[in-house]
Amino acid sequence: MQIVDRSDRVQAALKFAAGASAAGSLSAGLCYLCEQLAAMTASPVASVYVLEAGDELVLRGTFGFTRDALGEVRMKVGQGITGTCVETMSPVTVNDARLTEQFEYFPQLAEERYPAFLAIPLLSATRPRGALVLQREAGPFSESDILLTISATRALTALIESQNPAGAHVILRGEGNHRGRSLGVATLLSRALPRRDPRKTSPGQLSAAFASEREEIMQLAERARATAAASCRELEEICTTLTDVRLEERAQEHVARYVPPSIALERIAAEVARALAQHGPAARRAVDIEAFLGAIARRLSGIEAQRVRRGELVVSVHLPGLVALRSWPRDDSPGGAVLTALGMPVVWGVRDIFESVSQGDRVALDSESGEVIVNPSAAQAAAWRR
């Protein structure tokens, strides 16, 4: 008889087999299992996306990426490599996702560091429940990697089915801007830079997209200046960002080297984030630049810009000023200050909100007390309307 030595991989496998604590949240359990899977498969990144209402895949568990992205990173079934695996209900592997048209770039993940993907659907009988994604610096993933990962999916699916928080009634608290109350449905902003037909855009079309986006935002800024009771420094910073010609010049430099425009915009967003990260308050400008480049990518892809309509409430980690202008906390998001200047209620610093709210949930927001109610009762909703 030989007692097997408990190597790191064996130890991780035993922890995975023991399962996550039943007392924790869904995200806590999935993150714990992702950590063990990453060790078992020698992958720097392991993530779980859960299929929620509206055919939306939501990042609910991860090891290797920041947990701040939990609940924020979202994509539709069929969108990106992960969405393709759920749509086809088959494993998908790629050695360098950056070279595929299906790749969806999320700046907060900086996935260009780990371009090798293995996506496995999470299935309950014949019904998809989400996806497990492993990422490495380089591929390929072997058949043994695929088989090991598939064998682990049942435990993840069982945890999702037992703890999915959809529809839960939750009260959360943060800080408000004292601009009253609001009641509506949650609209969670996506920071993905879309990629569609990336090699069919000319330099002239890229310039036209920059010009059109600048013109639209400047018109909205003029409207905001006329509406705001006082001047707003964040609004002027947005306008300064839009008039910085270096962004377009940098994009054209990439295009001149035969880099597709959509990929060029991804690279510039990453470059700006890295350059501004060490500059304290100036780092918040990266959020607006990212949103500006994302809006241009949407124009090039023929996708409508992100807008918030009457009856919808924005939920975002960082609220870009450009999105705030289109939507018409005082944290490091410039959009909070813009909306405050325009007299609209904002609550910021709400912990764990992305673990508690899904796309389309009813939300009641009180900017006086800083209270946010997810899926309020009929009585609570009636009180908010008074």
- Position 267 scores a pLDDT of 82
Give CATH for domain 170-385: 1.10.274.10
- Position 329 scores a pLDDT of 42
- Position 39 scores a pLDDT of 93
- Position 150 scores a pLDDT of 94
* Res. 148 pLDDT band, cuts 50 70 90: very high
Angstrom distance (rounded) from CA 373 to CA 385: 14
Which CA distances in Å does 9 have to 4, 167, 332, 371? 12, 37, 40, 44
Higher pLDDT, 278 or 50: 50
Averaged pLDDT for residues 197-221: 81
Q: Range with the lowest mean pLDDT among 122-131, 198-207, 253-262, 306-315?
A: 306-315
- Position 198 scores a pLDDT of 56
pLDDT reading at 164 higher than 80 = no
pLDDT reading at 166 higher than 60 = no
Quickly count: other Cβ atoms within 10 Å of residue 13's Cβ.
18
pLDDT reading at 168 higher than 60 = no
Over residues 315-367, the pLDDT tens digits come to: 776 677 666 666 654 344 566 677 777 777 888 778 777 777 777 788 888 88
Helix (H, G, I), strand (E, B) or coil at 12: helix
* Res. 177 pLDDT band, cuts 50 70 90: confident
Angstrom distance (rounded) from CA 123 to CA 46: 18
Residue-wise DSSP of 198-242: TTS--HHHHHHHHHHHHHHHHHHHHHHHHH-SS--HHHHHHHHHH
Over residues 66-75, the pLDDT tens digits come to: 888 888 888 8
Angstrom distance (rounded) from CA 112 to CA 114: 5
Ranges 143-147, 257-261, 271-275, most confident: 143-147
Quickly count: other Cβ atoms within 10 Å of residue 341's Cβ.
22
> Residue 140, preceding bond cis, omega within 30 degrees?
yes
* Res. 40 pLDDT band, cuts 50 70 90: very high
- Position 330 scores a pLDDT of 39
Q: Spelled out in words, what is the top-level CATH class assigned to the domain 8-163?
A: alpha beta
| HEC per residue, 110-145 | CHHHCCEEEEEEEEECCEEEEEEEEEECCCCCCHHH
* Res. 48 pLDDT band, cuts 50 70 90: very high
- Position 331 scores a pLDDT of 46
Orientation angle between helical segments 233-242 and 334-341, nearest 10 degrees: 120
* Res. 313 pLDDT band, cuts 50 70 90: confident
- Position 332 scores a pLDDT of 47
Torsion over CA: 27, 29, 35, 41 (sign)? negative
Higher pLDDT, 109 or 87: 87
* Res. 279 pLDDT band, cuts 50 70 90: low
Q: Range with the lowest mean pLDDT among 193-202, 239-248, 268-277, 348-357?
A: 193-202
Orientation angle between helical segments 26-41 and 143-163, nearest 10 degrees: 170
- Position 280 scores a pLDDT of 61
Helix or strand run (H / E) with residue 356: helix 353-356
Quickly count: other Cβ atoms within 10 Å of residue 346's Cβ.
27
The proportion of the chain whose per-residue pLDDT surpasses 70, expressed as a percent, equals 83
- Residue closest to 357 by CA, chosen among 159, 128, 184, 127: 184
- Residue 229 CB-half CA count within 13 A: 7
pLDDT reading at 98 higher than 50 = yes
Domain range annotation of the chain: 8-163, 170-385
- Position 4 scores a pLDDT of 67
- At position 2, the amino acid (one-letter code) is Q
Higher pLDDT, 212 or 282: 212
Angstrom distance (rounded) from CA 177 to CA 383: 20
Is residue 13 within 8 A of residue 33, CB to CB? The reply is no
What is the pairing mode between strands 371-374 and 362-366?
A: antiparallel
Angstrom distance (rounded) from CA 104 to CA 77: 12
- Position 155 scores a pLDDT of 92
Higher pLDDT, 386 or 224: 224
Is residue 345 within 8 A of residue 176, CB to CB? The reply is yes
Report how many helices (DSSP H) and strands (DSSP E) the chain contains, helices first: 13, 13
